[in-house]
Structure 1
Amino acid sequence: MDDLFAPSDVSWTPVSPKLATLRRLNAAIVVGLLGIAALIVLGVTAGWLYGVLALVLVGLGYGWAWVLIGRNQKSWKYAEREDELLVSHGVMFRQLVVVPYGRMQFVDVAAGPLERAFGLATVELHTATPATDAKIPGLHPDEAARLRDRLSALGQAQAWGL
């Protein structure tokens, strides 16, 4: 069953471990804001004990998210074959996206403020069918640029045959 989502005949490249740190920081910001809001709203309306209880529950939720984020980051990988790019991710709901180079329309590279602070970028491949689009988060900017250039060149070269 593992060969279904991760063929063994290719050399897989994992994404950066910094991706987990970035996603944990994003989760901490959201959870922190929710925790403060819960503490204030419940503290004022129902009593401070309920506000503190809500804050503890939000903290437990963040602990659970911490574990899930780490597992998810470790599941992201990609491989370049002669005619296609493979992207695999997911722990519970696993997914393998195979994008033939000739089907690619364009390649995006994106990096938000936090991604740039962590030295990360995301490469996204677009095809005519949105269901076959692929995204690879957590790449070093140099690797993202190399992958963008390589995929664009391969896509253009193989699209001539269509």
Structure 2
Amino acid sequence: MTVNALEPWPDSVEWRRVSPKLITVELISRGILLLIVMIGLVIGWVASDHFWLFPLLMGINLLLAVWRSIITVRAVKAWGYAERGDDLVVRHGLFVRRLSIVPYARMQYVDVTAGPLERAFGLATVQLHTAAAASDAKVPGLAPEEAARLRDRLTALGEDRAEGL
């Protein structure tokens, strides 16, 4: 089998997708940020002599928010992870595709986090930590039960594989 480095999503891997609820969480987060920026622009508009500049900035901000929302939907659908025999594989990205392969023996610890918005939608994020900061990987948008199962499995596999080193 020939491997192409420019095609990082191997077909031989059985990918698990993150929850589609993550799209809603991401869009709400972006909406809150947009609201804060728009409030700041309105305040600047009212307090400034540059009458034409602030409506222009608000329009650009709205266009960027619509574009970023479309990208967010596609980006969440690109997230995936696979548990293989010796490692965890995590993929994400649209324009810049990223494929992280984290050997179980190299994992130092595994975090499960859930912010207020994630908890409201019944989601959690699994964060893997290794000795090399650049190789850390995360899997967002998991049901809390799946996040706990993955954390426990990765921890057990990491301890088991580390004993052989």
Give the TM-score range, shorter chain.
over 0.9
Q: 2:154 aligns with which of 120, 137, 151?
A: 151
Contact 1:39 1:48 in 2 (8 A): no
Question: How many residue pairs are counted as aligned between the two chains?
Answer: 162
> Are 1:43 and 1:49, in contact at CA under 8 Å, matched by a contact in 2?
no
Q: Which amino acid aligns with 2:95?
A: M
Q: Which runs of 4 or more aligned residues in structure 1 lie more than 4 Å from their structure 2 counterparts after TM superposition?
A: 47-50
Q: Distance in 2 between matches of 1:54 and 1:131?
A: 36
Aligned pair partner of 1:124 in 110, 122, 127: 127
State the Cα distance separating 1:47 from its structure 2 match.
5.7
- Corresponding residue for 1:111? 114
Task: Tell me which protein shows more helix as a share of its residues.
Answer: 1
TM-score, normalising length: structure 1: 0.93
Counterpart among 35, 39, 43 of residue 42 in structure 2 = 39
CA contact (8 A) 1:43 1:50 kept: no
1:90 paired with 2:93, answer: yes
- The CA deviation at 1:58 is 1.8
Identity %: 48
Letter in 1 for 2:17: P
Amino acid across the alignment from 1:78: Y
Q: Residue 74 of structure 2 aligns to which amino acid in structure 1? A: R
Per-residue CA deviations over 1:83-131 (Å, capped at 9, x if unaligned) read 1100000000111000111111111000011110111100011111111
Distance apart, 1:44 and its partner CA: 2.6
User: With structure 2 as the length reference, what TM-score do the two structures score?
Assistant: 0.91
Q: Distance in 2 between matches of 1:26 and 1:146?
A: 27
Gaps of 5+ in 1: none
2:60 maps to what in 1?
57
Which of 138, 143, 147 is the aligned partner of 1:140? 143
1:50 Cα deviation (Å)?
4.3
Rounded to whole Å, the distance in 1 between the matches of 2:98 and 2:148 is: 24
* Aligned alpha-carbon RMSD (Å): 1.6
Task: Tell me which residue corresponds to 1:71.
Answer: 74
